[in-house]
């Protein structure tokens, strides 16, 4: 039997579910947009060397009293039309690192497109998804049967061990030898406690005696000198 989370996931990815259809539409739309962006980026990257060459070229030298009037026009070739733009001292150049950034972005887009193509192939094959779902459901049901059997066996084994323990405990309680051993053990514990108390008392007495002897010796020594 499937859990709640697995049952919800199977419903969401069922071909007849609205969420599945909406997901496919969104991914198809995103895929189309990425294809268009990739085509535009390819064209732009092809033209990038010519644009960089033109932007990095030397501007027309400005001479005369009115430099503003001497700014010329420079042709930039782009397939197939051409256009003209003013070239001056403050010519705007392409920021450094832009080409590498564009290349990185294109690689990222290609990876996303590849991933989406793989996912679309998976979701388009509805028969395979249905078969995988049925196989997983069958496998989970078989595992449930096996685990239920193990659970019952363990429960019976624990019950047998518990009954055996209770019976053994009852026999020991009724056994006279066991009762005598219990009484002797309690007496032994009582004697051990008394021995510990006596050792402690003897140790304290020895300490007090040593101090008394040392004090008497200290008092007697000046008297003997006199």
Read off the tokens for 110. 């290609």
Alpha-carbon distance of 18 to 12, in angstroms, equals: 8
User: For residue 139, is it within any domain?
Assistant: yes
Alpha-carbon distance of 154 to 160, in angstroms, equals: 10
User: For residue 100, is it within any domain?
Assistant: no
pLDDT tens figures, 138-154: 999 999 999 999 999 99
Alpha-carbon distance of 97 to 94, in angstroms, equals: 9
Number of domains in the chain: 2
pLDDT tens figures, 193-211: 999 999 989 988 888 888 8
User: For residue 31, is it within any domain?
Assistant: no
| Identity of the highest mean pLDDT range in 9-13, 42-46, 58-62, 191-195 | 191-195
Structural domain including 209 reads 184-220
Return the sign of the alpha-carbon dihedral for residues 168, 170, 176, 177: positive
User: For residue 149, is it within any domain?
Assistant: yes
Read off the tokens for 7. 């049952």
Q: Are 167 and 192 in a shared domain?
A: no
pLDDT tens figures, 76-85: 444 544 445 5
């Amino acid at each position: 039997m499937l859990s709640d989370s697995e049952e919800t996931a199977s419903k969401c990815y069922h071909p007849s579910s609205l969420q599945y259809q909406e997901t496919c539409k969104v991914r198809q739309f995103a895929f189309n947009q990425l294809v268009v962006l990739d085509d535009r980026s390819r064209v732009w990257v092809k033209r990038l060397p010519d644009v960089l060459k033109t932007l990095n070229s030397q501007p027309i030298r400005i001479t005369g009293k009115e430099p503003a009037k001497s700014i010329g026009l420079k042709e930039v070739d782009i397939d197939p039309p051409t256009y003209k733009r003013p070239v001056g001292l403050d010519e705007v150049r392409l920021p450094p690192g832009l080409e590498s950034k564009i290349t990185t972005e294109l690689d990222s887009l290609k990876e996303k497109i590849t991933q989406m193509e793989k996912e679309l192939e998976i979701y388009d094959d509805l028969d395979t998804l249905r078969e995988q779902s049925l196989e997983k459901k069958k496998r989970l049901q078989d595992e449930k049967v096996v685990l239920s059997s193990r659970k019952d066996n363990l429960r019976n084994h624990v019950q047998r061990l518990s009954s055996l323990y209770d019976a053994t405990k009852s026999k020991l309680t009724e056994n006279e030898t066991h009762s005598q051993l219990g009484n002797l053990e309690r007496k032994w514990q009582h004697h051990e406690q008394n021995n510990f108390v006596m050792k402690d008392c003897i140790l304290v007495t020895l300490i007090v005696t040593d101090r008394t002897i040392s004090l008497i010796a200290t008092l007697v020594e000046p008297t003997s000198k006199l």
